[in-house]
Structure 1
Amino acid sequence: MSDQQTAPPAAAPALAGVGGTAESVAAEEPGAAVTGVEAIPGPVDAPGAPAHPVAVQDPVLSADPGAPAPVPPPRDRRRLRAALRWTSAVLVFAVLGGATAYAVTLPRRTDVPGLETPDDGRWTYPALRLPKLPAGAPRAYAGDRNPGGVHYADLRALLLPAARGAKVDRSFDGKDGWLPTARFIDAFEEADRKGLAERLPQAGLRHIAARAWDMPDGTRTEIYLLQFISAPYAEEGRFDMTTIAELSGAPIKVLDQDWKRGMTFPGDMSVSTYSEDKPRGREHVRSAFIVSGDTIAVIAMSKAGTQPAVPFHQTVLLQSQLLG
């Protein structure tokens, strides 16, 4: 291909100014006759002869009555198509506008009798985020990379945040976020505290992170995360807390019949939920023990009268997800 570029053809001279019509253009050309419809150039006579004007007959007026109507010029057809498009657009917008106006006047689903979604008592929690791990450290359920189920993340960052609208009990923050073991043991019946204080250190308890809050309806929630030196020691600690000790206010507990059995959890995580057996005292206590590798989560929820199952189960599931 040649390196030289062909110069573009020169633009044609303007025939009319802005807004000029075909009729005005034709009238300015010599030797052209103009009618109301179109201009047809006249014949050229011999040199020196006077010009003879040519009579042009209007095709519309001279057409036979039975002849078909003449086809409009292309310019008229373009105007017709443009008008049709604009008319269609106006109709479409009118329909959409009417539909929108109708939709916004419809009642909400919750306002229609029989279609409202009743509140099942679920709480609203902040968005959950898994904490960052130390460089190269695997998560608790990383298969062969972490066969002991060790939680390398900061245990305090694995605590479930308080539900929205709750009043947080700051006394559970402890020193540097770690709860003293004696404070945790106080959560159990007085007769069981001495034995538990002896057993937990023997089971290799390292430290405890805890959080507690009170909801406007009077529900009290306490969550404890206990980390042991290994998963077998954690299992031993769970055995002690569920067999030789009982949480305060719930001297007799039974398996939670409202808990849905058969739910699956990561790895060998085990979740056991309990409910205070009848006859109950002033408060109804529900509790859960989650064993996740080297860590045990103890959840206690209480309320005067009856403690609903829904927020309790929701809290247990969310805490399980953070440990998984």
Structure 2
Amino acid sequence: MLNSNLLRKLDMQDLMVFIAVYQQSSVTGVSEALFVSQSTVSYCLKKLRTSFEDDLFINTRTGMRPTHKACTMYAHVLKILESINLCHAGPATFDPTRQAVTFNICAPEYFEHLILPRLLKNFDFADLPVIVNMHKLETDIPADELRDGSLDLVICFGPNFHRSHPDFKSQVLVEDDLVCVFDKRATPLEPRFSLQAFVERRHVFPTPWTSTTNMVDGWLARQAYKRQIVARANSYSAALKMITGTDFILTLPRRIQKLLAKDTIFNHCEAPNGLPGFTLNMQWSQNSDPDSANTWLRDQVLKACAEQGLS
């Protein structure tokens, strides 16, 4: 709010005249510099004097001498005009065609299989000098690295698989559910596993991110059940190789099953009723929200999802 109603009558031209008179000490010079008449400069000075209740400039033989108040005002008025120019220009916009850039993303294997290949192809097709460094997702979201800018994005599972942070923003990228995959020679008769049949089979557990719990065993524990895990794999592909030629079960995200489990080798059936689905979420720090490079990266991730019908 303004301290005085007199200030409401001022406009940008008045402030420009103030700066010009202060710098040039000449009404004639100001008139030529601003391409306005001398009468306009005089009118602006009159408005300024009325609004700030001070002479501001005194006409002397050597030119217009600023008063003490005008001297104290100069830096503030200059900042006002600079701020107006910044508002007009807006924030600097990231242009990936002009500068090489490296983005750091922390994500599970699911993202690397499903979204990252399309993201990189889009960069390549557009001939953009963009490098993406991937960091493995651990048990907890690397909150400090996201806050200090060491990481640009964290891609994680949801809902409620990781501790929430109120200063992070989040967006769902993909929704998916789980299916049971097995060697074709070990295909069960039923199209959907019962809970009892599911826990009676031996399982291979893929660990696409480091965690002490997982969505399958957490759900089984709530049903007072436990499955037998014969092996833990570091990747989906390795887990698929482990079940080849056995009667082991591998519980995979449906989108990963369609992508990696060749139907010449593997079959699949529905998981037991009640086994919940999950989401893949993109998270970023509020500090990065206005950053144009970070905004551009998030848009590219969303574009890669949309192009594949994932979102």
Q: TM-score, normalised by structure 1?
A: 0.22
Larger radius of gyration: 1
The structure, 1 or 2, with the larger RCO (C-alpha pairs under 8 Å, 6+ apart) is: 2
Greater fraction helix: 2
